[in-house]
Amino acid sequence: GQNIDQPTEMTATEGAIVQINCTYQTSGFNGLFWYQQHAGEAPTFLSYNVLDGLEEKGRFSSFLSRSKGYSYLLLKELQMKDSASYLCAVPRQEAGNNRKLIWGLGTSLAVNP
Amino acid sequence: KAGVTQTPRYLIKTRGQQVTLSCSPISGHRSVSWYQQTPGQGLQFLFEYFSETQRNKGNFPGRFSGRQFSNSRSEMNVSTLELGDSALYLCASSLRGGTNNEQFFGPGTRLTVL
């Protein structure tokens, strides 16, 4: 099977650093995605990790440990506009070569002044 | 480059009716995926179309169907609507599709079934 777990809600202060965790169980692995979704808007792509380690992209970084089934999204120098839901997703391959993305329920981040 | 567009943005239907939602992908993108998003279940994959063929499928009943046209525009149809079908339906386009490429989401269609 394939399950994805993320904290439901997190709160942080403007200017601070926050780490959003995602754990997954999968019988096969082919990368992990992070998307950001502001309330009432469409999800937008943040990162895609295939190999272990940290990938940095401006204020956002994403880490992956395949052996531990664990990823985190690190947001630095938080801004009010970072208040959003953060979704992690993992590909799953089924019988007959059917493939789909399995999504976590998302972590709702509130950034306070 | 124009983004992914979806029509209509909002829809209210009653149980038993059917509905058709439309999605126009980013120009040049051949893959369109459809998702259902609800607070309790999150994002759930419905199906993916690539070059007019259904390439991947989620675990939804046969009431949910789709198609893709030669210009890559896609439609999703839900027949015999149930209250539980109330959700935000998102489509996403991708250059190559599959599960290891970035997807670009449209704004969604908010469906309410009464």
Query: Is B5 within 8 Å of chain A by CB?
Result: no
Rg (Cα) of chain A, in Å, rounded?
14
Q: What's the mean pLDDT in B24-48?
A: 95
pLDDT, position A2: 55
Instruction: Specify which residues A13 forms β-bridges with.
Output: A112
Q: How many Cα atoms occupy the beta-carbon half-sphere of A33 within 13 Å? A: 22
pLDDT, position B1: 67
Q: What's the mean pLDDT in B64-75?
A: 97
For residues A13 and A112, the answer to whether their CB atoms sit within 8 Å is yes
Dihedral of alpha carbons A103, A108, B32, A29, sign: negative
Rounded Cα gap, residues B23 and B4, in angstroms: 7
Q: What's the mean pLDDT in B1-16?
A: 94
Supply the mean pLDDT for chain B: 95
pLDDT, position A3: 85
Indicate the residue of A31, A42, A45 with minimum beta-carbon distance to B100: A31
- pLDDT by 10-residue block (mean), chain A, 113 residues: 86 98 83 95 95 95 94 98 97 84 95 96
Q: How far is A86 from chain B (nearest CA, A)?
A: 12
pLDDT, position A1: 42
pLDDT, position A77: 97
pLDDT, position A95: 81
Indicate the residue of A87, A101, A105 with minimum beta-carbon distance to B99: A101
For residues B41 and B81, the answer to whether their CB atoms sit within 8 Å is no
Q: CA-CA distances (angstroms) from residue A18 to A32, A56, A72, B54?
A: 19, 14, 10, 40
Residue bearing the bigger pLDDT, B30 or A3 = B30
B77: closest CA among B91, B66, B62, B86?
B66
